[in-house]
Each structure stands twice: as C-alpha cells, then as structure tokens.
Amino acid sequence: MSDTPQHPPSTLPPDDYQPPDVPLAVIHEDHEILIVDKPSGLLSVPGRGDHLADCLLSRVQTAFPMALLVHRLDRDTSGVMVFAMTPHAQRHLGLQFEHRRVKKTYVARVEGKLEPKTGTVDLPLIVDWPNRPKQMVDHENGKPAVTDWKVHRYAEGETRVRLFPQTGRSHQLRVHMQALGHPILGDPFYAEGAARDFPRLMLHAEELRLLHPDGGTGMKFRAKAPF
C-alpha cells in the first residue's frame, strides 16, 4: 500500500510492465472529487521512462483534464482511489490523508490460517535501499506503521482478511502480513513458493471514507474485490 509519494519511481524494464487494457471505472464524479476503481497491474503515476508512461493518472486526466493526484496505490493493488477536481479539493483531501482522517479498508487473501481473528500490527517500516522498492521492518530508524486486521473467513491453506491501515507507509500491508508469517498471496516481493504463484497480488482497496471538500459531509465509496 502507498498513500503518500514516498516510494522511489518505478524503474521496471520495458518487458515487465504490461498495463491492463480496460476502460476507466468511475465510481463517483462531482465538482470536487472523482472516485475510480484502479485495476491491478496499472501504475498510479508515471514511472521513469516512456515505457512507464501509461498510468491511472494519465488515463484519468485524458477523460477529466482537471483531475489532480491526491494519493497512490501500488501498481499491483486494485481498488478505490480519489482524485481532486480542483486545487481546493486537492489541499482539503491531502490534509485529510496527512491527519489520518481518511478511513481505508482493504481486503486480502493471505497464506495460512491467520490467528487470532482480530489484531493489530505495530511495526515501523523503512525502505530496503539495496532492494528498493521493497520495505522492511526497522525498530530503530523506521517510521511508525500500524495496521488492524479482522478475519473474514478461512479457506483451505489461506485466510480472507480485512485490513485497516492507521498509517499510509509504502508496502505497509504487504510487509505487515509477511511479518506475521502470512504473506499476501501473489505478492512478487514478499511471498515465496506456492504463495507467490498467483495471477495477481490478492490485495484490494475495498472502501474509502472521507469528508467531502465542499461542506465536509462524510462519504463512503466501495468497490467489490475482483477475487
């Protein structure tokens, strides 16, 4: 997960980036905000090089030229993202993210049986520079990172879980689940063996709760997980 532009720009070689050719999925549109459902495999913003120019931001701005970036999701994560339609809305939403007023719910499929059924991971994170964009737990130099979890159901060899990040560190949910011994299925960075052998990262931003920039009304937006 990443809600802040802290992680290094993607430097994937040309052959490794094959963005999905799917229509823009608009969930909500008004004079201040635009809510879309990002597909897995699509960068949120351009990476370095022409081969990484295709991204959700460019697709959104093709259809909505006034749209402005507010936050990001990892390339392999799907789900709800909000864009601002005015500079005022961008500032308003940016402050909500900064002050943790935006409430986020993710759904994930993780390896093994996650127990207990509810809990909290409180492990500080820092970029693993020799292996970036990977992140790692660092109790001395890492930035605070907190994730709550609630098991949805168990299946053979895996757990479906809802994740509630209290902070927005890069790869936070992915590293926290790995640290618990239950990496997210299909994770190319943090899963190994059979847990890695899935067609996509099984992580989806299911719900976003925020205050509308025009008037402060609480709003909730959802996109059903495609897995």
In contact, 217 and 74? CB cutoff 8 Å: no
- Residue 216: count other Cβ atoms within 10 Å of its Cβ: 10
Beta strand 78-84 with 146-155 is unpaired
Residue 74 annotated as catalytic: yes
Contacts of 55 (CB under 8 A, 6+ apart): 19, 42, 43, 44, 45, 46, 47
Q: Which tokens go with 213?
A: 């920039």
Task: List C-alpha distances in Å: 191 to 30, 39, 174, 227.
Answer: 39, 21, 9, 18
In contact, 21 and 33? CB cutoff 8 Å: no
Helix-strand-coil split of the chain, %, nearest 5? 20, 30, 50
Annotated catalytic residue, options 3, 37, 54, 74: 74
Taking the C-alpha atoms of residue 45 and residue 53, their distance in angstroms, rounded to an integer, is: 8
Q: Which residues have a catalytic role annotated?
A: 74
